[in-house]
Amino acid sequence: MALIVQKYGGTSVGSLERIANVAEKVIAARAAGHDLIVVVSAMTGETDRLLGLAKGIDPQPNPRELDVLLSTGEQATIALLSMALEKRGCPARSYTGAQVRILTDSAFNKARIVDIDAQRLRADLACGRVLVVAGFQGVDDAGNITTLGRGGSDTTAVALAAALKADECQIYTDVDGVYTTDPRVVPDARRLDRITYEEMLEMASLGAKVLQIRSVEFASKYNVPLRVLSSFAEGQGTLISSEEDVMEQALISGIAFNRDEAKLTVLGVPDQPGVAYRILGPIADANIEVDMIVQNVAEDSTTDFTFTVHRDDYDKALRILRETANELGAREVTGDNKIVKISLVGVGMRSHAGIASTMFQTLAAEGINIRMISTSEIKISVVVDEKYLELGVRALHAAFHLDSKK
């Protein structure tokens, strides 16, 4: 008998019919002899609705109270699913994050799981119940309700699977696996049977929102076999596991993109030690995360410095940069918040030259100007104008033979 943690996302529990469908799936898995912990998200659109209400009161709502509000979405779903299971004769019990005691730090709206007290869950499992746990939420050691950031139910599921040493963590969603790129943008995208933790981590951190990054970090750290599957169709989905388990490695496993980017440039700064620190220090102090950074080779004794931030932080970053530029005697500050990042990901890149040149050639052939480039061992990212996102992703998908009709 295996212990399986299943997670159902917002669309999968988006109506009473769909909750009934989930109940049937859970009962079928139980009938196959498995112990089950089921993590659920808020019904589709609910977290956004609650966020809208909060912002109607204050554009920057009190973070503690925001978490109290947002956590109610998942609380509604656990009760509804447990009722649906009980009505079908399947013993079930719902738990909020705080009731399980999913202990987190106190970073409201983006808390990290620190510890899980699995005792109560184990006792309930031993009584033959299905446990239905609210995703996306926890409690800090002062007893405050916290949430784990958008998409956080994935992380709840994987963390529970790790804590209870589950045999598999299954993420049920509205696509039937992890694809070579977002199938909504490239209809010819191909489902991957397997992908390594490392590649999935890159895909997620570069914008593929099918799994929250932290869930993949957890899975990799505790070696939890993770599978992404459809709630609506049968199939094997995509297994995410360690490199040794993935026998045949593709050169490129996928293309990720991120629409939430903005870039800022300061031109003509004196090229001296400490300049990068003077520019980025105040940005970091304002809690703004910086992604790509490029500094030009100095001509005369000045240099240009460009970096990217999340689009939501653009205005704030621009204000800070203008002040710093004044202090440094820089020539000019420019910015652009209509840019996107497209990334190629693949462990096969380690051993193959020429991937970057194929990428640049493909974009050039489409007349797409590359604004920034950054590389690491298993990825290459480029920043391009927002209007080229779809064109760029589709062209690269075809150029690297990722299309399903090949």
- Which residues of this chain interact with Mg ion, rule CB under 5 A? 9, 151
Return the structure tokens found at 202.
């890159």
Read off φ and ψ for residue 194, nearest 5 degrees.
-140, 155
**Can you point out the beta strands (E) in 79-157?**
92-95, 102-104, 113-116, 130-134, 137-139, 145-147
Least distance between ligand ADP and beta carbon 364 (Å): 25
Site for ligand ADP (CB under 6 A): which residue of 170, 181, 337, 343? 181
| Contacted entry of Mg ion, ligand ADP, ligand ASP, none for residue 210, CB cut-off 5 to 8 Å set by kind | ligand ADP
Rounded-to-integer distance, Cα 308 and Cα 371, Å: 11
Nearer to ligand ASP, 10 or 268 (CB): 10
Rounded-to-integer distance, Cα 274 and Cα 83, Å: 61
| Contacted entry of Mg ion, ligand ASP, ligand ADP, none for residue 174, CB cut-off 5 to 8 Å set by kind | ligand ADP
Asked if 179 is part of the footprint of ligand ADP (rule: CB under 6 A), the reply reads yes
Nearer to ligand ADP, 118 or 402 (CB): 402
Asked if 97 is part of the footprint of ligand ASP (rule: CB under 6 A), the reply reads no
Nearer to Mg ion, 147 or 265 (CB): 147
| Contacted entry of ligand ASP, ligand ADP, Mg ion, none for residue 136, CB cut-off 5 to 8 Å set by kind | ligand ASP
Least distance between Mg ion and beta carbon 9 (Å): 5
Stretch that binds ligand ASP, among 145-153, 181-189, 197-205, 398-406 (CB under 6 A): 145-153
Least distance between ligand ADP and beta carbon 216 (Å): 12
Site for ligand ASP (CB under 6 A): which residue of 12, 47, 94, 181? 47
How many other C-beta atoms can be found within 10 angstroms of the C-beta atom of residue 57? 10
Site for ligand ADP (CB under 6 A): which residue of 4, 5, 6, 11? 11
Rounded-to-integer distance, Cα 101 and Cα 246, Å: 35
Rounded-to-integer distance, Cα 68 and Cα 215, Å: 22
Residues 4-33 that bind ligand ASP (CB under 6 A): 9-10
Written as one string, the DSSP assignment of 266-329 is EEEEE--TTHHHHHHHHHHHTTPPEEEEEEPPPBTTEEEEEEEEEGGGHHHHHHHHHHHHHHHT
Asked if 173 is part of the footprint of ligand ADP (rule: CB under 6 A), the reply reads yes
Rounded-to-integer distance, Cα 171 and Cα 53, Å: 29
Asked if 314 is part of the footprint of ligand ASP (rule: CB under 6 A), the reply reads no
Site for ligand ASP (CB under 6 A): which residue of 110, 112, 150, 322? 150
3-state secondary structure (DSSP) of residue 40: strand
Pair 199, 346: CB distance under 8 Å: yes
Residues 129-158 that bind ligand ADP (CB under 6 A): 151
- With CA atoms as reference, report the closest residue to 64 among 15, 111, 130, 8: 111
Nearer to ligand ASP, 105 or 271 (CB): 105
Stretch that binds ligand ASP, among 118-126, 147-155, 273-281, 380-388 (CB under 6 A): 147-155
Rounded-to-integer distance, Cα 164 and Cα 5, Å: 9
Bridge partners of 335, per DSSP, are 264
Pair 148, 155: CB distance under 8 Å: yes
- With CA atoms as reference, report the closest residue to 142 among 117, 110, 116, 107: 107
- With CA atoms as reference, report the closest residue to 230 among 165, 173, 300: 173
Pair 242, 197: CB distance under 8 Å: yes
Nearer to ligand ADP, 177 or 335 (CB): 177
Site for ligand ASP (CB under 6 A): which residue of 42, 66, 92, 395? 42
Pair 144, 151: CB distance under 8 Å: no
Stretch that binds ligand ADP, among 4-12, 58-66, 155-163, 360-368 (CB under 6 A): 4-12
| Contacted entry of ligand ASP, ligand ADP, Mg ion, none for residue 135, CB cut-off 5 to 8 Å set by kind | ligand ASP
Pair 282, 320: CB distance under 8 Å: yes
Rounded-to-integer distance, Cα 75 and Cα 137, Å: 10
Nearer to ligand ADP, 180 or 306 (CB): 180
Least distance between ligand ASP and beta carbon 9 (Å): 6
Show the site string, 219-258: x = touches ligand ADP by CB under 6 A, - = not: -----------------------------------x----
Nearer to ligand ASP, 156 or 308 (CB): 156
- Residues at the site binding ligand ASP, with contacts judged by CB under 6 A: 9-10, 41-42, 47, 73, 135-136, 150-154
